[in-house]
């Protein structure tokens, strides 16, 4: 588009995090009236920051750089997509003034895409209103500005000046000074030394429950001369920190004070932040990312989110936020705080993030059953103790701990690791307490060459393994304990859902499976067993876990479920049947020894299995926990990982 004389300033700025300001400008420079010197005259702040990397710039500075980069192509038309999005009001005003200057000089025509009606009316000569991607109405700006009923009819909003001013949280005090961090490059670290500004509040009570942080909340500050200057120093590797930010997300209309407090704690630790508002109330937002920007990522658009019904709006905003997060490339970590609704909003997106990306949820429901929120992910749930409703001596400490926890995770995740395990290909294995001898023996033989990741087959364990496999983080899978399928078919409490094993039908990695603990269905304490199973063969494993032996009919249904998945797997498959017993309880003389039920399972698997060059089923006389069976698993695994040409499971 630059060859056509069009300059483009994208939404979100999209500066290169590793390039300095000057490198950005030299890369975009072309012959013409716009020169680097002219850019520095227009934006003196960029001249001061010319040696700083893109990730070290504030949002306003990044926007100046994005505009400058487009201008250096000497365009006839400058297209600017949401140029004031996420900027502080004073910076937004500077951008508006610059747009007026450009338009007034007459060298360049400016096409502004802007959802802030006040900005559009203040800058543009002509306004076009778009609906579903098409221009619905075009008119002179003065006409729209003068007709407030028309504004309401076309846009459903009024000018920002007419909206009730939302109370700004403590951390958003417009009179506070901007804190500038000086970043010095060392051989392998970034040293961040922020000066202690005169207005910085004295925070007391951070180290004791019994001492209040009320002074901080009331804005009481000590005289500048009474404070010894203390520079906070954060050392993080340069390459890993560039371009990454901690996202602070939540409903800023009701939890703004707490969320801005989290942001403040993170920024005091030298962590760059992005605030994202997930509110569905339609109130003005002080966050960097407006709720409507998040809502636009919903498959059905904004209208699918802002329905007027709180329940559906929260549900659909969670969908939109998940898609929003999936498209962001600068997320270093995600933190949120809220009640049950806010927790549901944030954790759906957290589950979408890869394992290892730091995720912290401060929640009022974190002391209960959090499985619906955490799922197969690695979300850190922190109980808020008090409600997330203001800053007090308890919430201050809990929120500060959460922010420091996230900062610590970010620092660790950015640090180069020398762990030997990181250099080995990763294997995923499933294990139950009653198949432990088998899995431990397999790991012992493979751990010299592989990083063995063992997942407890409790429902979420299988889901976690499959999420890693789907992400490409596992070189192969030894799914030796498929007991979650029994719970899914019969109605136990440790099911991984009907999609168990589906990931291997679309991810062609080596798969070695077996029938571990398919002789049992899991329930909690004996009184919780459903009435329809009261007369079944039950075994109290411990005071909190009750096991039920599967019947021949259930075994056949389990077998059909598994073999259907095996037949559709794309990678090399080996499925081993231990005919001597499926668990520590299933052996001659054991409480779950039932050769008839086992035979029903084995025959169903064998009669429906479609064998091929890359897919084989092996029937072995051993018990699953016999050393000979573990040896057979390892031999089979080595056979498929060496013979399959696409395998990445071997180290060399």
| Residues 518-559: tens digit of each pLDDT | 999 999 999 999 999 999 999 999 888 999 999 999 999 999
Task: Give the residue with greater pLDDT, 503 vs 197.
Answer: 503
- 3-class SS of residue 578: strand
**Beta partners for residue 578, in sequence order:** 620
Which residue has tokens 């949280």? Answer: 169
CA distances from 285 to 80, 104, 220, 343 (A): 22, 31, 26, 20
Residue 270 has pLDDT above 60, yes or no: yes
| CA–CA distance, 439 with 354 (Å, rounded to integer) | 26
Give the range with max mean pLDDT: 43-47, 243-247, 337-341: 337-341
**Contact indicator for 250, 259 with CB cutoff of 8 Å:** yes
Q: How far is CA 359 from the centre of its chain?
A: 7
- Considering only the top CATH level, what class is 420-643? alpha beta
Q: Determine the pLDDT at residue 153.
A: 60
Which one, of 272, 197, 267, lies nearest residue 229 by Cα? 197
| CA–CA distance, 520 with 540 (Å, rounded to integer) | 12
**Contact indicator for 181, 230 with CB cutoff of 8 Å:** no
What residues have CB less than 8 Å from 288, skipping those under 6 apart? 59, 85, 86, 274, 275, 276
Q: Is 308 left (phi over 0), alpha (psi -120 to 50) or beta?
A: left
Q: Determine the pLDDT at residue 233.
A: 36
Task: Give the residue with greater pLDDT, 293 vs 144.
Answer: 293
- 3-class SS of residue 192: strand
Dihedral angle computed from the Cα positions of residues 19, 25, 26 and 29, in that order, rounded to the nearest 10 degrees: 150
Task: Give the residue with greater pLDDT, 294 vs 109.
Answer: 294
Tokens of 342: 């806010």
pLDDT tens-place string over residues 44-81: 888 888 888 887 777 778 888 988 898 898 888 888 88
| CA–CA distance, 161 with 76 (Å, rounded to integer) | 33
CA distances from 52 to 21, 49, 376 (A): 6, 5, 39
- 3-class SS of residue 512: strand
pLDDT (mean) for 307-326: 92
481 burial level (CB within 10 Å; 0-12, 13-18, 19+): buried
Residue 234 has pLDDT above 70, yes or no: no
Q: Determine the pLDDT at residue 112.
A: 83
pLDDT (mean) for 418-431: 79
Q: Determine the pLDDT at residue 602.
A: 98
Q: Tell me which H or E stretch contains 36.
A: helix 36-42
Which one, of 560, 562, 577, 569, lies nearest residue 636 by Cα? 577
Residue 224 has pLDDT above 60, yes or no: no
| CA–CA distance, 482 with 461 (Å, rounded to integer) | 11
Q: Determine the pLDDT at residue 87.
A: 63
**Beta partners for residue 451, in sequence order:** 426
Residue 649 has pLDDT above 90, yes or no: no
| CA–CA distance, 638 with 478 (Å, rounded to integer) | 12
Q: Tell me which H or E stretch contains 307.
A: none
Give the range with max mean pLDDT: 200-214, 219-233, 453-467, 587-601: 587-601
- 3-class SS of residue 261: helix
Q: Tell me which H or E stretch contains 154.
A: helix 148-155
Domain boundaries defined on the chain: 2-162, 170-414, 420-643
pLDDT tens-place string over residues 186-221: 434 444 444 444 443 333 333 333 333 333 333 333
Q: Give the confidence band of 177 by pLDDT, cuts at 50, 70, 90.
A: very low
Which one, of 391, 381, 385, lies nearest residue 336 by Cα? 381
**Contact indicator for 285, 252 with CB cutoff of 8 Å:** yes
Which one, of 146, 107, 111, 105, lies nearest residue 125 by Cα? 111
- Gyration radius (Cα) of the chain, Å: 30
**Contact indicator for 70, 9 with CB cutoff of 8 Å:** yes
CA distances from 452 to 440, 449, 470 (A): 10, 9, 17
| CA–CA distance, 113 with 586 (Å, rounded to integer) | 68
Residue 150 has pLDDT above 90, yes or no: no
Q: Determine the pLDDT at residue 369.
A: 85
The rounded mean pLDDT for the chain is 82
H-helix segments, 500-540: 503-506
Which one, of 92, 408, 403, lies nearest residue 265 by Cα? 403
**Contact indicator for 431, 455 with CB cutoff of 8 Å:** yes
| CA–CA distance, 377 with 361 (Å, rounded to integer) | 12
pLDDT (mean) for 404-426: 75
Q: Determine the pLDDT at residue 482.
A: 98
The end-to-end CA distance of the chain, in Å, is 46
Task: Give the residue with greater pLDDT, 13 vs 472.
Answer: 472
Fold of 2-162: Rossmann fold (3.40.50)
97-100's contacts with Cβ under 8 Å and 24+ in sequence apart are 98/42, 98/67, 99/123
**Contact indicator for 520, 583 with CB cutoff of 8 Å:** yes
**Contact indicator for 334, 249 with CB cutoff of 8 Å:** yes
pLDDT (mean) for 232-251: 62
For 114-146, b where at least 16 C-beta lie within 10 A, e where not — what string?
bbbbbbbbbbbeebebeeeeeeeeeeeeeebbe
Fold equal for 2-162 and 170-414? yes
- Considering only the top CATH level, what class is 170-414? alpha beta
| CA–CA distance, 40 with 193 (Å, rounded to integer) | 26
Q: How far is CA 512 from the centre of its chain?
A: 30
Give the range with max mean pLDDT: 165-169, 245-249, 459-463: 245-249
Q: Determine the pLDDT at residue 443.
A: 97
Residue 235 has pLDDT above 60, yes or no: no
pLDDT tens-place string over residues 118-129: 777 777 778 887
587 burial level (CB within 10 Å; 0-12, 13-18, 19+): middle
| CA–CA distance, 317 with 344 (Å, rounded to integer) | 10
Which one, of 269, 277, 264, lies nearest residue 241 by Cα? 269
For 364-392, b where at least 16 C-beta lie within 10 A, e where not — what string?
bbbeeebeebbbbbbbbbbebeeebeebe
Task: Give the residue with greater pLDDT, 271 vs 1.
Answer: 271
What residues have CB less than 8 Å from 347, skipping those under 6 apart? 336, 361, 373, 374, 377, 379
Q: Determine the pLDDT at residue 419.
A: 55
- Pairing between β-strand 538-542 and β-strand 520-523 as defined by DSSP bridges: unpaired
Q: Give the confidence band of 133 by pLDDT, cuts at 50, 70, 90.
A: low
What residues have CB less than 8 Å from 231, skipping those under 6 apart? 193, 194, 195, 196
């Amino acid at each position: 588009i630059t060859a056509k004389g069009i300059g483009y300033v994208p939404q979100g700025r999209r500066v290169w995090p590793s390039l300095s300001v000057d490198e950005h400008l030299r890369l975009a420079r072309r012959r013409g009236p716009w020169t680097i010197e002219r850019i520095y005259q227009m934006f003196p702040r960029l001249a001061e920051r010319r040696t700083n990397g893109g990730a070290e710039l504030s949002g306003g500075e990044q926007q100046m750089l994005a505009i400058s980069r487009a201008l250096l192509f000497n365009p006839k038309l400058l297209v600017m997509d949401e140029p004031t999005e996420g900027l502080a009001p004073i910076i937004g005003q500077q951008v508006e003034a610059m747009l007026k200057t450009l338009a007034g000089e007459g060298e360049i025509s400016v096409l502004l895409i802007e959802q802030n009606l006040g900005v559009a009316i203040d800058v543009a000569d002509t306004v076009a209103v778009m609906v579903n991607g098409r221009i619905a109405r075009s008119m002179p700006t003065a006409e729209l500005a003068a007709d407030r009923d028309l504004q309401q009819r076309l846009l459903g909003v009024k000018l920002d000046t007419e909206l009730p001013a939302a109370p700004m949280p403590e951390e958003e005090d417009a009179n506070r000074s901007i804190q500038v961090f000086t970043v010095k490059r060392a051989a392998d670290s970034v040293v961040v030394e922020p000066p202690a500004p005169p207005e910085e509040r004295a925070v007391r009570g951070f180290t004791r429950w019994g001492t209040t942080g009320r002074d901080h909340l009331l804005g009481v500050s000590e005289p500048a001369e009474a404070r010894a200057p203390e520079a906070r120093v954060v050392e993080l590797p340069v390459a890993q920190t560039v371009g990454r930010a901690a996202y602070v997300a939540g409903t800023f209309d009701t939890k703004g004070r707490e969320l801005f407090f989290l942001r403040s704690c993170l920024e005091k630790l030298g962590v760059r932040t992005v605030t994202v508002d997930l509110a569905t109330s339609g109130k003005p937002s002080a966050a960097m990312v407006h709720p409507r920007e998040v809502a636009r990522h919903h498959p059905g658009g904004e209208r699918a989110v802002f329905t007027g019904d709180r329940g559906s709006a929260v549900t659909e905003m969670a969908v939109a936020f998940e898609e929003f997060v999936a498209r962001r490339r600068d997320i270093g970590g995600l933190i949120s705080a809220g009640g049950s609704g806010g927790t549901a909003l944030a954790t759906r997106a957290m589950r979408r993030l890869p394992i290892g990306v730091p995720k912290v949820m401060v929640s009022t429901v974190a002391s209960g059953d959090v499985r619906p929120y955490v799922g197969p992910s690695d979300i850190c749930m922190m109980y808020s103790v008090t409600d997330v409703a203001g800053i007090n001596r308890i919430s201050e400490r809990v929120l500060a701990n959460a922010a420091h926890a996230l900062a610590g995770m970010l620092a660790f995740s950015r640090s180069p690791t020398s762990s030997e395990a990181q250099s080995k290909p990763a294997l995923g294995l499933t294990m139950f307490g009653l198949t432990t001898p088998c899995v431990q023996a397999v790991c012992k033989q493979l751990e010299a060459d592989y990083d063995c990741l063992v997942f407890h087959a409790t429902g979420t364990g299988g889901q976690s393994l499959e999420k890693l496999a789907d992400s490409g983080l596992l070189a192969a899978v030894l799914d030796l304990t498929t007991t979650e399928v029994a719970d899914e078919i019969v109605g136990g409490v440790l099911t991984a859902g009907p999609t168990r094993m589906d990931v291997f039908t679309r991810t062609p990695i080596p798969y070695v499976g077996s029938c571990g603990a398919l002789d049992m269905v899991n329930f909690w304490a004996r009184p919780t067993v459903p009435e329809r199973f009261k007369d079944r063969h039950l075994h109290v494993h411990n005071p909190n876990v009750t096991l039920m032996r599967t019947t021949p009919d259930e075994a056949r249904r389990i077998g059909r479920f598994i073999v259907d998945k095996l037949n559709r797997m794309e990678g090399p498959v080996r499925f081993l049947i231990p005919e001597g017993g499926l668990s520590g309880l299933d052996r001659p003389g054991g409480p779950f020894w039932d050769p008839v039920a086992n035979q029903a399972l084995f025959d169903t698997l064998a009669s429906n299995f479609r064998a091929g060059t890359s897919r084989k089923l092996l029937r072995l006389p051993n018990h699953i926990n016999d050393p000979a069976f573990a040896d057979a698993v390892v031999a089979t695994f080595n056979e498929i990982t060496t013979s399959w040409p696409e395998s990445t499971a071997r180290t060399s």
